[in-house]
Amino acid sequence: MTEIAETPPIEMLSTGNDRWRRALFRFRQSKLSMLGAAMVAVVLFFTLFGTVLAPYPEHVAGGVATADRFLPPSAAHPFGTNELGQDVLSLVMAGTTVSVLAGFGVVLIGTVIGTLVGGIAGFVGSWTDEVLMRLTDLTLTIPGLILAMAIAAALGPGFTNMVIAISLSWWPGYARLVRGEVLAAREEVYVTAARAIGASPARILFRHILPNTVSPIIVKMSLDMGFAILTVAGLGFIGIGVRPPTPEWGTLLSLSRAYMPDYWWTAMAPGMAMFLAVFGFNLLGDGLRDILDPKARR
Amino acid sequence: MSDPILQIENVSKVYGARRALFGKTAEVQALQDVSLSVRKGESFGLVGESGSGKTTLTRSILHLETPTAGRILFEGRDLAQLSAAEMRRLRARVQIVFQDPYASLNPRMSVQDIVTEPMLIHRETLGLDRRQRIERAAELLSLVGLGPQHLSRFPHEFSGGQRQRICVARALASGPELLLLDEPTSALDVSVQAQVLNLLCELQDQLGLTYFFISHDLAVVRYLCDRVALIYRGELVEEGETDRIFDHPESEYARMLTRAMPEVRVPA
């Protein structure tokens, strides 16, 4: 041991750097993946800075200008104004924050619950597996939006409640995905090696099995982001999501419904925003699957 | 020769019939009344073809499976009688190197994490802190012919032979006395096989290890092992000194095997 102590400190090489560069290269080869990444970047940018950059911050805060109601798109209001004279562009920009954060929260909570349930079910097996997976199937049989509506109605409106409500109908997909991956990974030789060393079940699950299931989970998260944003907007549209004056895409769309088709611009901006966000996350997810999921790779 | 380190007494293993879609699947008799004894410091070879129960036997020795009948004793103590804590401590002293070096290393862990993990799990027994564990990992790597610069690499960056060396380093990390070698060279190129075998021989001399060497490569077994047992369809066919078995086989199966061997001349 003294000999080793004299040698220079153990070098920390940039591990796996090469692998990342190769993955990035393959990702760049696909124009659609890059387009998706760019769209997601724009969406994330507005998530962080939309409220700050909005040209009419007083409208975001709930201020009205009834004299300017239903102005068509112009240089001052690129997407026109709504029934309260608020600038639609400002509202949509600020609405990105709520919509994307809610979507992200839903996917994150769904992943955590689903990974735990599926991981434990696949790892422990026998009756634990049966109970957990029947519970999962049971949740799957209830239409997600209806369950979310029921939960949101019970908990009352609001951002957190909405996220919780949707998450509770969101995790079964992850549970089934993770269970399948865990069933495959737990038969790996390195898991047997860990058992032979005397590793605890928790260590085997969290150190050896679950890290080898992250790729499909990340891919599914990215693909799900779009749908989560849509579901959040759906709840907003039927009026159980975030309440005005907090701007949110679904709520904006729902309010503008009454003024279609004469004042079409009030619906177009939030609709386009949703379209771009969902489309971007889907393209990104497809691109990630190509580089992360070897089974789906050509 | 010294005391036995591992005794296998009348071990049988039957994989139970399971209910399938239509009727039942058949019972599988993986091991039938196998008795062996491995002495401290020797290399014991177990030879058998695929499906002969070799793997079941190793899994039973590692206590990953419970035999249907019979006892397995490590230094005279029955594995089945040990408490969970005692079993954990014992796992540090019996380690295994698997056949396929591509499958037996976790692709998400660096070599440092892989080699230090046994020391982390057995830190109470070994009493090494983080710094010491990393130092010992570096030490182990140089012992198996790699170096400290490999600590931060990941398994996919290594060749098959190098990976098998990492597997050996991991197996040695907890300071075992008995090493199960489950066909450690059969997945490697012939040239690399020789290197790994020589490494194993050197390590045995240096560390006084006992080897339980499983193989179907008779030449390798003859080169490495002091004593050999032949196993066929879960039953022990013959057991004895390596030279005796190869020169004067008693059973028909042993004669058949040695006849089928390509010409081997071991310089005596």
Residue A119: pLDDT band with limits 50, 70, 90: very high
- Residue-level pLDDT at B21: 66
Nearest residue in B to A201, CA atom:
B121
CB B90 within 8 Å of CB A193: no
Nearest residue in A to B176, CA atom:
A197
8 Å CB contact of A190 and B104: yes
Give CA A194 to chain center in angstroms.
34
CB B175 within 8 Å of CB B141: no
Count contacts between A and B (CB, < 8 Å).
92
Residues of chain A positioned with their CB less than 8 A from the CB of B95: 196-197
A214 pLDDT more than 50: yes
Average pLDDT over residues A218-243: 85
CB B163 within 8 Å of CB B80: no
Residues of chain A positioned with their CB less than 8 A from the CB of B170: 193, 197
8 Å CB contact of A13 and B92: no
CA distance A187 to chain B (A): 10
- In tens, the pLDDT along A124-178 reads 988 999 999 999 999 888 887 888 888 878 888 778 888 888 888 889 999 999 9
Q: Which B residues in the span 85-144 are in contact with A, Cβ-Cβ below 8 Å?
A: 87-88, 91-92, 94-96, 98, 100, 103-110, 112, 117-118, 121-122, 132, 134-136, 138-139, 142
Is CATH 1.10.3720.10 what the domain over A41-292 is classified as, yes or no?
A: yes
CA distance B120 to chain A (A): 9
A46 pLDDT more than 80: yes
CB A226 within 8 Å of CB A278: yes
8 Å CB contact of B118 and A12: no
Residue A94: pLDDT band with limits 50, 70, 90: confident
CB A71 within 8 Å of CB A78: no
CB A178 within 8 Å of CB A213: yes
A13 pLDDT more than 50: no
Q: Which of A189, A207, A214, A217 to mutate to test the interface with B (most CBs of B within 10 A)?
A: A189
Q: Can you tell me the distance from the alpha carbon of A209 to that of A223, in angstroms, rounded to the nearest whole number? A: 23
- In tens, the pLDDT along B112-142 reads 999 999 999 998 888 888 888 999 999 999 9
User: What end-to-end distance do the CA atoms of chain B give, in Å?
Assistant: 21
A224 pLDDT more than 80: yes
8 Å CB contact of B117 and A1: no
Residues of chain A positioned with their CB less than 8 A from the CB of B109: 207-208, 211
8 Å CB contact of B149 and A198: no
Position B146: which residue type?
A: L
DSSP-derived 3-state class of residue B85: helix
Q: Which B residues in the span 136-195 are in contact with A, Cβ-Cβ below 8 Å?
A: 136, 138-139, 142, 148-149, 151-154, 156, 167, 170, 174
- Residue-level pLDDT at A113: 95
A252 pLDDT more than 90: no
Average pLDDT over residues A72-91: 81
Angle between helices A126-141 and A88-124 (to 10 degrees): 150
A196: nearest CB among B91, B100, B153: B91
CA distance A216 to chain B (A): 15
Nearest to A270 by CA among A285, A247, A249: A249
Give CA B248 to chain center in angstroms.
27
> Across A108-117, A269-278, B178-187, B212-221, which has the greatest mean pLDDT?
A108-117
- Residue-level pLDDT at A10: 41
Answer whether B228 touches A (CB < 8 Å): no
Query: Among residues of chain B, what percentage have pLDDT more than 90?
Result: 18
Q: Which B residues in the span 28-87 are in contact with A, Cβ-Cβ below 8 Å?
A: 62, 64, 87
Instruction: Return the DSSP state at A207.
Output: I
- Residue-level pLDDT at A61: 76
- Residue-level pLDDT at A293: 65
**Those residues with Cβ within 8 angstroms of residue B34's Cβ, 6 or more apart along the chain or in another chain:** B8, B10, B11, B12, B53, B57, B70, B231, B234, B235, B236
CA distance A203 to chain B (A): 9
8 Å CB contact of B152 and A12: yes
* Lowest mean pLDDT, pick from A6-20, A181-195, B63-77: A6-20
Output the average pLDDT for chain B: 86
CA distance B121 to chain A (A): 6
8 Å CB contact of A211 and B91: no
Residue whose entry in the numeric block shows the structure tokens 């182990």: B140
CA distances from B193 to A207, B58, B65, B247 (A): 31, 21, 29, 25
Q: Give the H/E segment covering residue B150.
A: none
A11: nearest CB among B87, B121, B152: B152
* Lowest mean pLDDT, pick from A5-9, A93-97, A135-139, B18-22: A5-9
Residues of chain B positioned with their CB less than 8 A from the CB of A196: 62, 64, 91, 94-96
CB B141 within 8 Å of CB B169: yes
Nearest residue in B to A214, CA atom:
B108
DSSP-derived 3-state class of residue B240: strand
User: What end-to-end distance do the CA atoms of chain A give, in Å?
Assistant: 48
Residue whose entry in the numeric block shows the structure tokens 């057991």: B239
- In tens, the pLDDT along B79-102 reads 888 888 888 888 989 999 998 888
B216 pLDDT more than 90: no
8 Å CB contact of B92 and A198: yes
Q: Can you tell me the distance from the alpha carbon of A222 to that of B80, in angstroms, rounded to the nearest whole number? A: 48
Nearest residue in B to A212, CA atom:
B108
Domain boundaries, chain A: 41-292
A12 pLDDT more than 80: no
- In tens, the pLDDT along B70-79 reads 889 888 888 8
CATH class of the domain at B42-52+83-260: alpha beta
